[in-house]
Amino acid sequence: MAAPFGVCRLHFRVLGGLDKFSLGLETQAQIRFTSTTSAIKAQTENKTAKAAKESKTFQAIQEERREAAERSVLINCPPKINEKKFLDYLSKHGTINKHFFYNSYGANAVVEFSSRESIASLKDSINIPAVEHEAAVPFKSRLLSLKWPGSQSSNHPMPKFKEQSPASISEITQLLSEQDSIDEQLQCLTETLQLTEENISLRFLVCSLLRDIAGAYFPECIIRPFGSSVNSFGKLGCDVDMILDLNGIYATSQKKGSALSLEYQVKRGASERAVTQSILSVIGKCVDQFGPGCVGVQNILQARCPLVRFAHQPTGFQCDLTANNRVAMKSSELLFLYGQLDPRVRHLVFGVRCWARAHSITSSIPGAWITNFSLTLMVVFFLQQRNPPILPTLDQLKELAGPSDKCVIEGNDCTIVSDLSKIALQQNTDTLEKLLQEFFEFYGNFPFNKASINIRKGKEQTKPETTALYIQNPFETTLNISKNVNATQLERFVALSRESAWLLQQKEILKQSSDSPWGFAALLLPSVTSGAGVKSRSKRKLEPASSRIKNLLDSLKIKGGETVAKKGSTNARR
């Protein structure tokens, strides 16, 4: 069935090296939003259509990464590593596809071989260390330590270490202030914050290492990352959400209808939840006692979604392992798909998430805060409301699905189209600056008291219950994903949205110089943050242009004026 969206991406320019992750693979075209000439527009449309046709499905990309992780090892190295000698030594076990170094509790290397046999050969040559005064758990994992006898010469070039930590807010503010437009600021923000190829590989590798432990009980199991590690909205430093997928165990090769059949004798639990809890508690215990590098293991089994939480020291990742959570995996696929449809989606989501974090609207601690997942759905909903819409509704994605896309999980129809080339988009040329401004206006005036956010219909619906914020769960449609949010937190979000919308309307916030934060960078300033939620809320509602905003603008005027005067030019002001 044809999508109700006509093709257009008039304002895209194809660039190399950017947004690599957004399209998943390096062979796919890299697209970035900007204003440009009609010649480039026509060229871009062709390339965009080609990229969409060539694009792999979410599942195919995940499968490729998972398979590569199974052929990889993680090695703790001495600080002055001779890269060439190191690679020569490992190459005895087979061809090396890729490798990279990073720092976390010392130097580490990820080495991906081209075949699994290399891992077996390598493992045969490795010793369990002899430890003095203690005893070692003789578990042979793919987490290794390189011993380099004697002192190493430092005359060889040092390997390049890939950064795995996020930039600080002050570094981001500085970097954004050097850009030339708010559109460029949001693109730059995405490039700075997004997960790198190496960081994604590390996430898959941690899942694969954990699978080796769980595989002792359930050899057919797979541990898959979900959430922001794979949905294309993850930023460096975000947690690794994992699912213990036991579905392979239920698959059988026995033909239906044959006269005789055999069944495994199994233990039974009181409910699926009870079975999940017992499996996770055993795996949690193994991770704690046998998992090298896994520390601070907590079994959080009474949560709505039972999980095992731990820190993986060699990568610095905070990990949450859940089981029986296929709907969450489907939600990740849905967000990934929305992120691929138009580059503005990711830029806006990264912008809104960063703004929300800078103002403590979101938090890493669970509580009554709005979550990143909720914020992302709010952006998707807003983009469905544009005229013409930038994103299709979930119902439209379902209508475009083919027979192989059919997916029902626990009675919920989770069907969405997997082939991106079937989705034709409507012509919408809004700039990121306009979208950001109108996002804040939209939610600064949204009737949260009576309406719910529904990306399935792409329309506001009457709120079925009295919670402060109601965002319908895309697949489990009777649930509200933001049930935890209280009125205070929602009011803070609304107040800050109004103030940010107002700020963006002021010409003083536009670029003055790269010495003072302007545009999106000014929206992140602590002077805006301070006082949010402290002042009387009713006062703030009546007075959106609060004094702290005036102070900010005054400070911008002073700083901008000084800089302009110093440079003896007024051209810096747009």
Q: Which residues bind Mg ion (CB under 5 A)?
A: 227-228, 239, 241
CB 231 → ligand GTP: shortest distance, Å? Answer: 6
DSSP string, 370-410: PPHHHHHHHHHHHHHSSSS-SS--HHHHHHT--GGG--EET
Q: Does the protein bind ligand GTP through residue 227 (CB under 6 A)?
A: yes
451-452 vs 317-323, strand pairing mode: unpaired
Smaller CB separation from ligand GTP, 479 or 558: 479
The terminus-to-terminus CA distance of the chain in angstroms comes to: 47
Is-contact 499 546, C-beta < 8 A? Answer: yes
Q: How far apart, in Å, are the Cα atoms of 186 and each of 18, 113, 164, 350?
A: 13, 37, 21, 8
Place of tokens 């998707």: 380
Q: Which of 57, 473, 497, 500 binds ligand GTP (CB under 6 A)?
A: 473
Smaller CB separation from ligand GTP, 446 or 475: 475
Binding mask 414-453 for ligand GTP (x = CB under 6 A): ----------------------------------------
Helix (H) or strand (E) holding 339, with range, is helix 326-341
Distance, CA of 374 to CA of 321 (rounded, Å): 21
Place of tokens 């578990």: 139
Distance, CA of 145 to CA of 74 (rounded, Å): 8
Q: What is the phi/psi pair of residue 411, to 5°?
A: 85, -5
Smallest CA-to-CA distance from 153 within 85, 214, 205 is with: 85
Size of interface with ligand GTP, in residues (CB under 6 A)? 17
Torsion of CA 42, 45, 51, 55, to 10 degrees: -170
Q: Give the footprint of ligand GTP on residues 485-524 (CB under 6 A).
A: none
CB 60 → ligand GTP: shortest distance, Å? Answer: 20
CB 243 → ligand GTP: shortest distance, Å? Answer: 10
CB 329 → Mg ion: shortest distance, Å? Answer: 13
Q: Which of 54, 239, 460, 562 binds ligand GTP (CB under 6 A)?
A: 239
CB 374 → Mg ion: shortest distance, Å? Answer: 13
Q: Does the protein bind ligand GTP through residue 118 (CB under 6 A)?
A: no
143-145 vs 72-77, strand pairing mode: parallel
Smaller CB separation from ligand GTP, 111 or 469: 469
Q: Which of 328, 368, 451, 510 binds ligand GTP (CB under 6 A)?
A: 328
473's contact among ligand GTP, Mg ion, none, with CB below 5 to 8 A by partner kind, is: ligand GTP
Span of 144-152, 224-232, 273-281, 564-572 interacting with ligand GTP by CB under 6 A = 224-232
Q: Does the protein bind ligand GTP through residue 371 (CB under 6 A)?
A: yes
Q: Which of 361, 481, 495, 522 binds ligand GTP (CB under 6 A)?
A: 481
Q: Does the protein bind ligand GTP through residue 333 (CB under 6 A)?
A: no
CB 467 → ligand GTP: shortest distance, Å? Answer: 12
Smaller CB separation from ligand GTP, 22 or 372: 372
Give residue number: closest CB to ligand GTP.
Answer: 227
CB 234 → Mg ion: shortest distance, Å? Answer: 7
* Both tokens assigned to 148: 């380099």
Q: What is the DSSP letter of 166?
A: P
- Return the sign of the alpha-carbon dihedral for residues 171, 174, 180, 181: positive
Q: What is the phi/psi pair of residue 472, to 5°?
A: -65, 130
* Both tokens assigned to 554: 């005054």
Binding mask 79-108 for ligand GTP (x = CB under 6 A): ------------------------------
Span of 238-246, 307-315, 447-455, 492-500 interacting with ligand GTP by CB under 6 A = 238-246
Distance, CA of 239 to CA of 228 (rounded, Å): 8
CB 308 → Mg ion: shortest distance, Å? Answer: 15
393's contact among Mg ion, ligand GTP, none, with CB below 5 to 8 A by partner kind, is: none
Place of tokens 């359930």: 218
Angle of helix 432-444 relative to helix 343-358, nearest 10 degrees, comes to 50
Binding site for ligand GTP (CB under 6 A): 226-228, 231, 234, 238-239, 241, 328, 331-332, 371-373, 473, 476, 481
